[in-house]
Amino acid sequence: MIAAMPTDVVDVIRRGDVSALESFLSEAPQTVRNRVDGQRTLLHIATDWPGHFPNVQQTIRLLAEHGAELNAPFQGRHTETPLHWAASSDDVTALDALLDLGADIESPGAVIGGGSPLADAVGFGQWKAARRLIERGARSTLWQSAALGLMDRVREHFAGASQPSADEVTNAFWYACHGGQVEAARFLLERGADRSWIGHNGLTPLAVAARNGNQQLVEWLETQEAISSNSALDQTNSKTCRRTL
């Protein structure tokens, strides 16, 4: 049976009161592995949205010293670890603290497709955390590489005999637009991406670029739309002329 967690320890963690937290853990050491609401560990509390709590590095270290499980999954609809939550909050300080202590950078459970912490960071547009994860050695899929403009990694997916599917190319193109990556978007469009796809959150690539304020990419996408429209019009006019001859 999971023991109840005193609500005041949540406030202590969010305030960054390391001294009070140490006193609490010394008096009730078993609670370091208990769960708030039966779902969140104390490390989840330290990395919960919106993150960036005072003294979070010291808090995480203290919890780990008292036996907190670094890779404990959230017990709910998703199974995100504290590292997923740090990534989702763009909290690089918490992210580094967890990784320095040995958290698994590839642990599964993300809201985005059940993937690694990088999946959540990229999916939610938490770019500082995403780039730090790459710096710390995280692997990236095609769509994650496209969103971050990691062109060497993007090209690797097309270097072998097995090529990405049309759906994978279009999804990566959408994420390149999500991340404001013109070079990646151009590369993927040349390889057959569907720029009119209505993708995640019901947004087209153009819409997601506009939502995220990626003006250079918006202008390029609008140019591509104009080129396509003119090409279609030329083909229609050509067919009409042939019929009248």
* pLDDT exceeds cutoff 90 at 228: no
* pLDDT exceeds cutoff 60 at 1: no
The verdict on 119 and 87 lying in the same domain is: yes
pLDDT for the residue numbered 226: 65
The verdict on 106 and 28 lying in the same domain is: yes
Phi, psi of 148 (to 5 degrees): -95, 0
Domain boundary among 112, 139, 166: 139
The verdict on 114 and 161 lying in the same domain is: no
Domain boundary among 139, 156, 178: 139
Tens digit of each residue's pLDDT (9 = 90 or more) over 175-222? 999 999 999 999 999 999 999 999 999 999 999 999 999 999 999 999
Domain of residue 214: give its range.
141-245
* Angle 48-53-55 from CA coordinates, rounded to 5°: 130
Q: Sorting pLDDT into bands at 50, 70 and 90, what band is 8?
A: confident
Tens digit of each residue's pLDDT (9 = 90 or more) over 77-101? 999 999 999 999 999 999 999 999 9
CA distance 188 to 173: 6
The verdict on 39 and 115 lying in the same domain is: yes
The verdict on 154 and 49 lying in the same domain is: no
CA distance 185 to 204: 13
The verdict on 215 and 238 lying in the same domain is: yes
Where is pLDDT greater, at 188 or 224? 188
CA distance 120 to 9: 27
Tens digit of each residue's pLDDT (9 = 90 or more) over 21-76? 999 999 999 889 999 889 999 999 999 999 999 999 999 999 999 999 999 999 99
Q: Sorting pLDDT into bands at 50, 70 and 90, what band is 234?
A: very low
Which two tokens mark 155?
Answer: 């090209």
The amino acid that residue 33 corresponds to is R
How many domains is the chain built from? 2
pLDDT for the residue numbered 232: 43
The verdict on 83 and 150 lying in the same domain is: no
The verdict on 116 and 11 lying in the same domain is: yes
**What CATH number is attached to the domain comprising 97?**
1.25.40.20
Q: What is the dihedral of CA 171, 177, 182, 188, to 10 degrees?
A: 10
The verdict on 127 and 159 lying in the same domain is: no
| Closest-CA residue to 80 (of 44, 134, 55) | 44
The verdict on 109 and 174 lying in the same domain is: no
Inter-residue contact 197 to 226 (CB < 8 Å): no
The verdict on 1 and 112 lying in the same domain is: yes
DSSP string of 14-53?
HHT-HHHHHHHHHH-GGGGG--BTTTB-HHHHHH-TT---
pLDDT for the residue numbered 4: 44
The verdict on 220 and 122 lying in the same domain is: no
Domain boundary among 101, 118, 139: 139
